[in-house]
Amino acid sequence: MQQRVIDGAWRVQPLDDVYYFGGQNPHNQRAVISHKAIWPNEFSFERDHIIGTEGNHWNGFSKGSDKTNGQSGLYP
């Protein structure tokens, strides 16, 4: 394999955008649009609700919970 630089490790960016480490602050997001659940494992939320992200499923959905109304499941 040919490389453009000798050690390019410092250029690597992880694919996992939600990295968890013990004692880390939660990953909260504010909804910019409302969502109505279609599947039983999804949850609905309104605009401006705070969504806590628990993990990305890499299929267009993330697992999380709505901090405003307490629902949890998958969301787009």
Q: Which two tokens stand for residue 29?
A: 């997001």
Please tell me the pTM assigned to this model. 0.69
How many C-beta neighbours within 10 Å does residue 61 have?
16
pLDDT at 27: 85
pLDDT at 55 (0 to 100): 84
Architecture label for domain 1-76: Roll (2.30)
Could you read off the pLDDT of 7-63 as tens digits, one per residue?
766 666 655 566 666 667 788 999 999 999 999 999 999 999 999 998 888 888 999
Residue 69: its pLDDT value, please?
94
What whole-number distance in Å separates Cα of residue 24 and Cα of residue 1? 37
CA angle 7, 9, 14 (to 5 degrees): 165
